[in-house]
Amino acid sequence: MPHLKVALSGPVWLAAFACAKMEKTHPAPEGVELLAVKSDGSQITAPSQYDPHKYRDVSNPTSTLGTFVHVMKSALGIGILSVPYAFKNGGLVFGVFGAFLFASLCSHSAHILVSTSYKICKKERIPVLGFAETVEKACANGPASVRALGTALRNIIDWYLMLTTVVVFIVFVGTTLREVVNYRTGWDWSDRTYILLVGVPILFITQIREIKYLVPFSAIAGFLILANIVISLVFIFQEPLSLENRRMLPTASTVAPYMGIVYFALDATCLIFPLENQMRHPQHYLGCPGIVNLNYLCLAILYSFFGAVGYIRYGDDVESSIILNFPTENVLVSCIQVLSAVAVLFSIGLIFYVPTEIAWKKLHTRVPKRWNGVAQSGLRLGMLAVNIAAACGIPHLGTFMGLLGAVLNPLLALWIPIVVDTVYRWPNDFGRLRWRLVKNFALCCFGLFLLVTGTISSVNNIIALYN
C-alpha cells in the first residue's frame, strides 16, 4: 500500500503532540505515515519504522541452526565426489582459487536477491516476497522500459521452478541400489523394480509440508555425504601423495569443464527464498558472518581440500566420480554407493518442496478451506506419481535434464540476480564510478560463458549417447 503522508501545520511541539494524539485515538492503518512539519512548513523527516521481518506470519518457523543445515545440504551433494575430476581439468592452483571464487559468487547472488527483496518489502510494506515476486516488483520499480519484463520473468521463473522434477534423483537412487544389491547378491532385478521400491519411502517423505520438519532429513543426508567423504579419504591416503606430474593451471580447453562441475555443484538458487522466508530469525540469513557466508566458506574449504587431495592421489587417471577409482570388490565402495543413494533419498523432500509450494499457491484459491489438507496431499501424490512414471518410462531422461539445466541454471543463478540488482538500482545507485554496474556486466558475461559451454557439453553428451 503506498504511504499516505499527513502534514500538520503549526509549531513543532504542537504538530508532534497532534500526531501522537491522533495515533492514540485513531491509529493509522498499516502503510500510513503521519509526518510532522516544522514551523516553516518543511517536513521533519524520519526513517520508516516498518520491518518486514516483524510482520511475517509463519506457522512453523525454522530455527537458525535448522536453516543452516538446510542451506549446507542444498549446496553439498554427491556432486562433491566429482570435484577431484574437476581439479584434473582446472589444476591445483586454479582449482582451489575457483572453489572460493564460485562459493563467493553463489553467496553474492543470494545477498543480491534477499537484500533487494527486503528493500522492496520495506518500501511497499509487504511482509514477505518469493523469488519470482521479487523479480517482478524489482522490474516494476525500475525504468519504464523493463516494467513489462517483470511479469514475463515472474511467469517464467514460477513455471520453471514448478516443473523442476526429482526424476533424476529417483533414477539415481534406484540404479545405484540396483548396482550394489545385484552385485552383492547375484540377483537380476531391473532398474524399474528398484525405482518402484524406493518410491515407497519417497511417498512418505514428500508428504512433509513444512521445511522445519525436513531439517532432520537434511541433517541425515549431510552426515551421510560427510561419511562418504571420510571413507573416500581412507582410500586416498592409503599411499603417500605426490605432486609429480600434477597440473597447476588449466588449459583453454579444460577451464570450462572445471567451472561447470564446481559452480553447479555449489549452486542452490532455487532454495534461497523458501529457506529464508521460513526462518524464525531471518535477519541471521545474510550479514557477517550470517548463514549464507558461513555456509559457503565451509563448502569452499571442503571442496578445495577434497578436490585437491583426490586429484593429487590419482592424477590424470581420476574418474568422473572418484569412487570409480576405488576397487569395486571392497565392501567400503559398496558402502559409499549405498550412503550416496540414501543421502539423495533423504534430500528429495527438500528438493520437492519448491515445485509443490509454487503449484499449491496457484491452486489453493480454488479449493475450499476445509479440503486444503486433502488437496495438498493429493497434489503432492500426483506430482510424485508423474515423476516416478517418467523415471520408469523415459530412458536416458537425466541426459536431457542436464541440457535443460545447462541452459536455465545460469539464467536463474546469475542473470536473474543481476537483472534484479541492476533495474532496482537504476539509474544512480551504483556507487562510486558506477562500480556495481561494471561488476554486474562482468557477471553477465560470465553467465553467458557458462550458458554456452554448458550447452555445448550437454549436446555432446546427447550425441555420444546415440552414436
Counting every residue written for the chain, the total comes to 467
Task: Write down the domain spans for the chain.
Answer: 58-466
Give the pLDDT score at 68. 92
Task: Dump strand ranges (E) for 100-215.
Answer: none
Alpha carbon separation from 113 to 110, 127, 143 (Å, rounded): 5, 16, 18
Nearest CA to 96 among 314, 249, 292? Answer: 249
Whether 154 contacts 133, CB under 8 Å: yes
Task: Specify the higher pLDDT residue, 36 or 239.
Answer: 239
Task: Dump strand ranges (E) for 39-145.
Answer: none
Q: Which residues of 266-279 are buried (b: 16+ CB within 10 A; e: fewer)?
A: bbbbbbbbbbbbbb
pLDDT band of 18, cuts 50, 70, 90: very low
d(CA 136, CA 339): 41
pLDDT at 403 over 80: no
Nearest CA to 212 among 260, 148, 279? Answer: 279
Q: Where on the phi/psi map is residue 91: left (φ > 0), alpha (ψ -120 to 50), or beta?
A: left
Give the pLDDT score at 163. 74
Nearest CA to 281 among 48, 51, 13, 2? Answer: 51
d(CA 147, CA 139): 5
Global pTM value: 0.81
Give the pLDDT score at 12. 38
d(CA 95, CA 84): 9
Cell numbers found for residue 20: 501522537
* Residue that has been written with the C-alpha cell 475450499 in this structure: 368
Alpha carbon separation from 166 to 71, 94, 272, 309, 418 (Å, rounded): 18, 33, 18, 31, 27
CATH architecture, range 58-466: Orthogonal Bundle (1.10)
Kindly report, residue by residue over 256-292, the tens digit of the pLDDT.
888 878 887 888 888 888 889 999 999 899 888 899 9
- Preceding peptide of 427 cis, ω within 30°: yes
3-state class of 279 per DSSP?
strand
Give the pLDDT score at 401. 64
Kindly report, residue by residue over 151-181, the tens digit of the pLDDT.
888 888 888 887 777 888 888 898 889 989 9
